[in-house]
A = this chain, B = another copy of it.
Amino acid sequence: MSLKRKNNKSTQVPEPTLRRLPGYLFFLEKVREKGVINISAPTIGKELKCDPTQVVKDLAVTGIKGKPRVGYNTYELCHALEEFLGFNRVNEAFLIGAGNLGTALMAYQEHQTLGIKIIAAFDVNEDKIGKHVGGIHVLEYNKLFHLSNRLDVKIAILTTPNNVAQDVAEDLVNCGVKAIWNFTHCNLDLPDNIIVEDISMSSFAAVLLRRLNDSEE
């Protein structure tokens, strides 16, 4: 999306592949629950409507080998995918900005299955401080600095208003945060080693509206 991060020596897994992996994982978990032991790439491709060789290439990043005429072992694959994505670990995260979107994310239980656990939320607004949503407490923003000294939290979810996002992001970096999930549409300017994942509504809207326009000729 923004600037490419090439801070790793060995060839990184391509982003399109990475984005597709959770889809495979969820599908595989579903069929595994139904008792399916083995599944082939063509079958996965048919269900998920994508190219079977793409499936093979994507799944290869996990290191799991399939057997000809049998396919992949669903248990092995699920496990390897979870491991590879980090979904089976508990990756603790702070949430900053307990507003409309922030509280929706706090209430969102599925984060657990994505390996991300919001352990505390922070806000500057008196009305928000002290509340708790989905078992997560909203703390005074200033407490972020004290808490981050004790805890080693590497991930932050940023849901403040746009105009304070840059300042808050800089605070987060100073608190030892290494990756920011940015829901604001502020173009964060941070050191290169900080991972920023922008989830920009506007980009989605742009693609949707334009494609809709295209389809109407």
Contact = CB atoms under 8 A, between A and B. Distances in A.
B2 A187 contact: no
A114 B202 contact: yes
B204 A197 contact: yes
Chain B CB count within 10 A is highest, among A84, A103, A205, for A205
B2 A85 contact: no
Interface string A161-205: 000000000000000001101000101010001010101111111
A210 B100 contact: no
A9 B101 CA distance: 39
A207 interface: yes
A18 B201 CA distance: 13
Contact of A154 (B7, B12, B108, B212): B212
Instruction: Give how many copies assemble into the complex.
Output: 2
Contact of A206 (B18, B108, B204, B209): B18
B206 A85 contact: yes
Contacts of A5: 211, 215
B181 A204 contact: yes
A181 to B, nearest CB: 6
Contacts of A181: 204-205, 208
A184 to B, nearest CB: 10
Contact of A50 (B3, B178, B200, B214): B3
B155 A202 contact: no
A192 to B, nearest CB: 10
24 contacts: A2-B50, A7-B214, A12-B211, A20-B203, A22-B203, A23-B202, A25-B202, A48-B187, A86-B213, A87-B206, A91-B209, A100-B103, A100-B104, A100-B107, A100-B108, A104-B104, A108-B201, A114-B206, A178-B216, A179-B212, A181-B205, A195-B211, A197-B204, A199-B204
